[in-house]
Amino acid sequence: MATFLHVSSSTPATAAAQVPEALPPTLIDTLTEATTFPFDSQRRATTETWLAHRHDRLARFAPQAERRLALLAGVQAEATLAGLSPDIVMAVIQVESGFDSHAVSSAGAQGLMQIMPFWKEAIGRADDNLLDPGLNLRYGCTILAYYLKLESGDLTRALARYNGSLGQTWYPERVMQAWVEYWWTSDAD
């Protein structure tokens, strides 16, 4: 059984848990474009150093080497496409789902990045499978990048917004703790 980061908090992580009051057309356009952008296997393998450095770290959460490589390549590609740090995305996934691509929260959030189903409806893609790891990463990275832009680069506020806990810091603190303990490196990889 995998060991997961234990952070004492009585409030569970629930990514993007609240429907925004009004979805701005720019977010709908971004999500629509991102979910129709073709997956490119060549693009996924461009950062070999990053993949190699994270492969062993992910072993505690995903024991199968092939699954680790696919997950890391997907995270690297989707985070880069969205303009995010892949390491922050790894920390979000660790906190949200413990790297379980089939995770479903009590609130109904699904997959690696715990995407709420209302996002599918919001962009007119009701048939999307949020348990598909690649698609889930595409949604999650795009939503987080949107919130980061909305919050003028303030990662703490963007993470809280992603979780539906804007105004509170417990969730961003959990993500940052996971990032520092497992995914951050001092080298420029």
- Domain residues for 151? 25-183
Residue 80, pLDDT > 50, answer: yes
Rounded to two decimals, the pTM is 0.77
With CA atoms as reference, report the closest residue to 144 among 98, 53, 75. 75
Q: What is the pLDDT of residues 91-124, one digit of tens each?
A: 999 999 999 999 999 999 999 999 999 999 988 8
pLDDT of the residue at 6: 34
Reported confidence tier of residue 187, pLDDT bands at 50, 70, 90: low
Question: Is 154 among the domain residues?
Answer: yes
Out of 96, 121, 151, 181, the active site residue is: 96
Question: Is 18 among the domain residues?
Answer: no
Percent of the chain whose predicted confidence (pLDDT) is above 70: 74
Q: What secondary structure letter does DSSP report for 115?
A: B
pLDDT of the residue at 25: 72
Q: State the Cα–Cα distance between residues 40 and 162, nearest whole angstrom.
A: 26
Reported confidence tier of residue 35, pLDDT bands at 50, 70, 90: low
Question: Is 127 among the domain residues?
Answer: yes
Q: What CATH number corresponds to the domain at position 165?
A: 1.10.530
With CA atoms as reference, report the closest residue to 96 among 184, 4, 188. 4
Query: Residue 33 catalytic?
Result: no
How many domains in the chain?
Answer: 1
Residue 38, pLDDT > 60, answer: no
Question: Is 82 among the domain residues?
Answer: yes
- Quick one: CA dihedral 161, 89, 145, 186, positive or negative? positive
Question: Is 5 among the domain residues?
Answer: no
Reported confidence tier of residue 53, pLDDT bands at 50, 70, 90: confident
Q: State the Cα–Cα distance between residues 16 and 136, nearest whole angstrom.
A: 12
More confident residue, 39 or 7: 39
